Amino acid sequence: MTSAAPKGENCLVDMDSKAGDLFSAEDAHPTGTGGAGILAKLWLPKGFSASMAKEWIDRRRVSIRPWASFVDQRKFSKPRNFGELCQRVVKNVETYNSNYTFIFLGLILYCIISSPMLLIALAVFAGAFYIIHLKSLESKLVILGKELTVPHQMSLAGAVSLPVFWLAGAGAAVFWVLGATLFVIGSHAAFRELEGSDIEELLMEPV
């Protein structure tokens, strides 16, 4: 009489094989033969990778300057002339570019969170793009004799969600983010004194 369920090591091997099938690359890709894995539902289009985004953020975090020094009020002063103003802006943007990047992302996040309609518009865009992309995987989408690539699909999703973005005041939000970013970064870059090493580097540059 045969056993109805695997036991001991056979059970572990069976569970490992199922886990492997669940997260295998073949199943994760919508064009794979399986398509039953969890990752199949979370698959991203070619060119979009969570690991790439994480790698980019990690590089920015490594190059970020200490925030205590970034906002140290003792190191802020009015530039003596226009030439010094330009030198400060150029060197500080180069030195604190990672800090400025996170400030920009923070302003975008604040703008999105503080506007429920904008959240709805982004959800509509993401949903439209996801549906269009799934349709393109089932069969090629052709418009005016041309196959829709991923950028074309994003453009189409943007056109579909454009009325919602208009109702959400996305244009005003974009201008607010850009204006706030230029004001914050410009003010810091102009009034933040240069570090000693930056001053020495400027003095060593040929005229």
Three-state secondary structure readout of the chain:
CCCCCCCCHHHHHHHHHHHHHHCCHHHHCCCCCCCCCHHHHCCCCCCCCHHHHHHHHHHHHHHCCCHHHHCCHHHECCCCCHHHHHHHHHHHHHHCHHHHHHHHHHHHHHHHHCCHHHHHHHHHHHHHHHHHHHHHHHCCCEECCEECCHHHHHHHHHHHHHHHHHHHCHHHHHHHHHHHHHHHHHHHHHHECCCHHHHHHHHHCCC
Residue 50 lies in a domain: no
- pLDDT of 197 reads 58
| Residue 28 within any structural domain of the chain | no
Say if residue 47's pLDDT is above 60. no
List residues bridging with 192 in a β-sheet: 76
Using the predicted structure, report yes or no on whether residue 171 has a pLDDT greater than 80: yes
> Residue 96: inside a domain, yes or no?
yes
Contact residues for 165 (Cβ-Cβ < 8 A; gap 6+):
118, 121, 125
65 and 96 Cβ atoms separated by less than 8 Å = yes
pTM of the model: 0.60
pLDDT of residue 158: 84
184 or 117, higher pLDDT: 184
Residue 205: what pLDDT?
A: 54
Domain count, the chain: 1
Q: Is residue 207 part of a domain?
A: no
Q: Are 108 and 174 in contact (CB under 8 A)?
A: no
Q: pLDDT (tens digit, 9 = 90+) per residue, 94-147?
A: 889 999 999 999 999 998 888 888 888 888 988 888 888 887 777 777 776 677
Residue 11 included in any domain? no
Most confident of 3-12, 49-58, 79-88, 154-163: 79-88
**pLDDT exceeds 60 at position 20:** no
Q: Are 60 and 105 in contact (CB under 8 A)?
A: no
Distance, in Å, from the CA atom of 128 to the CA atom of 130, rounded to the nearest integer, reads 5
147 occurs within a structural domain: yes
Give the pLDDT score at 167: 83
Quote the domain boundaries for residue 104: 78-201
Whole-number average pLDDT of the chain: 74
Any idea which of 14-28, 154-168, 173-187 has the lowest mean pLDDT? 14-28
The reply to whether 164 falls in a domain is yes
Terminal alpha carbon distance of the chain: 93
In percent, how much of the chain has pLDDT > 70?
Answer: 69
**What is residue 129's predicted lDDT score, i.e. its pLDDT?**
85
pLDDT band of residue 149 (cuts 50, 70, 90) is confident
In a domain, 161, yes or no: yes
